[in-house]
Structure 1
Amino acid sequence: MKTVAQILATKQNQQVHTIAPHNTMLEALQVMAEKNVGALPVVEDDRLVGVVSERDYARKVVLQGRSSVGTPVSMVMSAPVVTVEPKQDLRTCMSLMTDRKLRHLPVVDGGRLVGLLSIGDLVKEVIAEKDGLIHQLEQYIRGE
């Protein structure tokens, strides 16, 4: 089973885009659209304080009739943040995401944000792992 560090290493874009809690939701949405991501870790003084996602926006801004321009990220972000370390395995991440109904999982190493895993990243990895196992079994059956 692969570790978080191994999964992060295979991601095409390893840069983690963040936003500050004082920024507006409009600014957060602009960054998410520009970077084509569904969530942003919220960082203040080099410390992870929350995560804000498109889902948070829909539920805590749009459905409550708030303005994207006047609403700070701090009012919308999910906190406290559930995180994982690079040494943790894929199964642990999947359990956390399933149990806590998360779609994004920040990766922290020594208190520093080093990556962000999405549910899509994990599903892609599980599919690749299962495909590899099927290939090995087929080779075994054929006697190769």
Structure 2
Amino acid sequence: MKTVGTLVAGREVYHVRVEHTVREAARYMSDRRVGAVAVLEGDRLAGVLSERDIMSRVVARALDPDTVKVGEVMTRELVVASASESNEDGVRKMKQAGCRHLPVIQGDRFLGMVSLRDLLQVDLSEKDEEIRLLNAYIHYVPPGTGRA
């Protein structure tokens, strides 16, 4: 069984700090083409900042992204996944919470972030492999049967 921990293993961990401005965070996210980043306070995971947070808590309220700090608008109530949880459990948690990004932790250590897209790509790859194997089974011709 694949786990969310295997998805984040070896990946760069994208993060900003609570004291960064929203503009700095938005640039960072845009440069890396990610929709959400972990927010650290010291070495502790303090929250998550998503594109949705920026739109609804800064842009829609006409706040200045050059002065608003990430810590003021990030999501603090986090739904997280343990590194040992299955990909299916990760998707289930996202569905229940209505979110598209899930911080992955091991104990109290932040390991990385998985997106719904990450989890769905793994699921699609597994389904493609199952289809390939089923096709091979269905079309298998045993040796010596004379069928070609």
Whole-angstrom distance in 1 between the partners of 2:132 and 2:124: 12
Whole-angstrom distance in 1 between the partners of 2:6 and 2:38: 21
Whole-angstrom distance in 1 between the partners of 2:51 and 2:78: 16
What is the TM-score with the length of structure 1 in the denominator?
0.92
Runs of 5+ consecutive residues of structure 2 not aligned to the other structure: 142-148
- Aligned-pair Cα RMSD in Å: 1.4
Runs of 5+ consecutive residues of structure 1 not aligned to the other structure: none
Residues 14, 112 of structure 2: 8 Å contact kept:
no
Residues 19, 42 of structure 1: 8 Å contact kept:
yes
2:52 counterpart of 1:52: no
Identity between Structure 1 and Structure 2 (%): 35
- 2:27 aligns to what SS in structure 1? helix
Whole-angstrom distance in 2 between the partners of 1:71 and 1:34: 20
What is the TM-score with the length of structure 2 in the denominator?
0.90
Structure 1 residue 8, shift from structure 2 partner: 2.6
Aligned position for 1:99: 96
Residues 20, 70 of structure 2: 8 Å contact kept:
yes
Aligned position for 1:128: 125
2:83 counterpart of 1:86: yes
Matches within 5 A, 1:18-57: 18-57=15-54
Q: Segments of 4+ in structure 1 off by > 3 A?
A: none
Any idea what the Cα deviations from partners look like across 1:84-116, whole Å, max 9, x if unmatched? 111100110000011111111111112111111
Structure 1 residue 67, shift from structure 2 partner: 0.7
Aligned position for 2:71: 74
Whole-angstrom distance in 1 between the partners of 2:131 and 2:47: 39
